[in-house]
Amino acid sequence: MVYALKQKPIPARRRVAILGSTGSVGCQTIDLISRAPEKYEVVALTANKNIKLLVEQARLLNPEFVVVADESQYQALKDALAGTNIAVAAGAAAVVEAAESDSDWVMSAIVGAAGLPGTLAAAKRGVTVAFANKETLVCAGPLMMKLVAEAGAQLLPVDSEHNAIWQVFDFERREAVARLILTASGGPFRTKTRDYMVHVTPEEAVKHPVWSMGAKISIDSATLMNKALEVSEAHFLFAMPPEKIDVIMHPQSIIHSMVEYEDGSVLAQMGTPDMRTPIGYTLAWPERMATPAAKLDLAKLGQMTFEAPDSTKFPALRFAGEAMNKGGTAPAALNAANEVAVAAFLDHKIGFLDIERINEAVLNKVDVSPLTDLGVLHEADAAARAYAAELTAKK
């Protein structure tokens, strides 16, 4: 399924739903929207359990509908918003309802496969979906892209790498594209040894040298699993075969990614590392909007450096290729294993290098089925999670 960007007419004031509004991407989306309230009206917000922040956001933005996924938080949310006109609901089905609310722009910023139902529900409505939730595309790429095409939805990538590629990808002449080059900062352990990584703590691993992000993606950046997921994401989003997607280490994170064309031209998108630039591009597209991101000062920066990725030190880089080669439900199984392993590491239950051990074991063991429907996907996800949990317990 080839992704074609169809431009939809932009309403004078966009009606916005933010799935995962309390997270890093969600908060930065709200930051941008709050700077241009005449252009955006927020109609729905969702969180998992952080109702303190959710209530603050609701009071600031006065949406029609606010959802907390964790049902045990329902009464507290309801009490906190009593006396307002804001409708309140709880549970996973209510998150889908928020995605189905009468919005024309949906930010998909829930972390993990939990973001899948909401993202699919928004895409099914044929609206504009800014998607940060890469796990949706990794797990359900072919199903998602088919649905997007059928519903006439517009899928705008928020991930800085894919947003960069989108900005320089010639959709009219895709046959001239020779290669996608994803840049990777390398995370906090790029220059460390494997011996060093054996003992790192979650507190150390979440400290990304360049980006400030949620805990799960920060750990994925430290293992380089984030890049593995992004290769899958690029494969589905831009319909490029895995062998035409390369990764290069670029610790300064100034070039956010590149497209190489058959004539040797390489087009790059650059900017200071601030997620508000790609988020702003999805909010305003096809226009651009002012953002508070620092302007790039190349003279001050002085130099940019690049290195070949080291897949011996960071085996996660191999996993994306293996999962895509296996196809079907393999990427979803790898993603599920990784979610379980990262949660266990953050919980101090396993070591840092156990994450890759568990991911590799699950990828090698699980049965792969053709990705025919969501039922098959859920089964593969559950089986991979169960096996990963077993391995986590064994340690």
Does 109 sit near ligand NAP (CB under 6 A)?
yes
Q: How far is the CB of 367 from ligand NAP (least distance, A)?
A: 26
Does 47 sit near ligand NAP (CB under 6 A)?
yes
User: Pattern 301-340, binding to ligand NAP, x per CB under 6 A?
Assistant: ----------------------------------------
- Binding ligand NAP (rule: CB under 6 A), the pick from 214, 251, 315, 331 is 214
Read off the amino acid at residue 259.
V
- Binding ligand NAP (rule: CB under 6 A), the pick from 61, 184, 217, 258 is 217
If the CB atoms of residues 41 and 135 are measured against ligand NAP, the closer one turns out to be 135
DSSP reduced 3-state for 311: coil
- Binding ligand NAP (rule: CB under 6 A), the pick from 66, 114, 249, 362 is 114
Q: In 3D, which of 59, 61, 56, 69 has the Cα closest to residue 118?
A: 69
Strand ranges inside 331-383, DSSP E: none
d(C-alpha 134, C-alpha 25), whole Å: 12
What does DSSP assign to residue 265?
Answer: -
Q: Residue 179: in which H helix or E strand, if any?
A: strand 177-184
DSSP reduced 3-state for 122: helix
Q: Write down the residue that tokens 């699950």 correspond to.
A: 362
d(C-alpha 93, C-alpha 217), whole Å: 25
If the CB atoms of residues 6 and 88 are measured against ligand NAP, the closer one turns out to be 88
Does 106 sit near ligand NAP (CB under 6 A)?
no
Piece of the chain touching ligand NAP by CB under 6 A; list 131-139, 247-255, 303-311, 339-347: 131-139
Piece of the chain touching ligand NAP by CB under 6 A; list 44-52, 119-127, 349-357, 382-390: 44-52
Read off the amino acid at residue 269.
Q
Read off the amino acid at residue 394.
K
- Binding ligand NAP (rule: CB under 6 A), the pick from 159, 233, 339, 381 is 159
Does 181 sit near ligand NAP (CB under 6 A)?
no
d(C-alpha 119, C-alpha 94), whole Å: 13
d(C-alpha 272, C-alpha 268), whole Å: 13
Q: How far is the CB of 258 from ligand NAP (least distance, A)?
A: 18
Bridge partner residues of 307 (DSSP): 249
d(C-alpha 293, C-alpha 296), whole Å: 9
* Residues 58 to 77 in contact with ligand NAP, rule: CB under 6 A: 69
Does 211 sit near ligand NAP (CB under 6 A)?
yes
For residue 355, what are the CA distances in angstroms to 84, 164, 310? Answer: 45, 29, 17
d(C-alpha 310, C-alpha 323), whole Å: 19
For residue 210, what are the CA distances in angstroms to 207, 213, 253, 313? Answer: 9, 10, 7, 20
- Binding ligand NAP (rule: CB under 6 A), the pick from 49, 313, 357, 385 is 49
* Residues 20 to 39 in contact with ligand NAP, rule: CB under 6 A: 20-26
If the CB atoms of residues 253 and 329 are measured against ligand NAP, the closer one turns out to be 253
* Residues 4 to 23 in contact with ligand NAP, rule: CB under 6 A: 20-23
Does 50 sit near ligand NAP (CB under 6 A)?
yes
DSSP reduced 3-state for 148: helix
What does DSSP assign to residue 313?
Answer: T
Q: How far is the CB of 198 from ligand NAP (least distance, A)?
A: 25
Does 111 sit near ligand NAP (CB under 6 A)?
yes
Q: How far is the CB of 283 from ligand NAP (least distance, A)?
A: 15
If the CB atoms of residues 21 and 291 are measured against ligand NAP, the closer one turns out to be 21
Does 385 sit near ligand NAP (CB under 6 A)?
no
What does DSSP assign to residue 112?
Answer: S
Residues lying near ligand NAP in the complex (CB under 6 A): 20-26, 47-50, 69, 95, 109-111, 114, 132-135, 159, 211, 213-217, 275
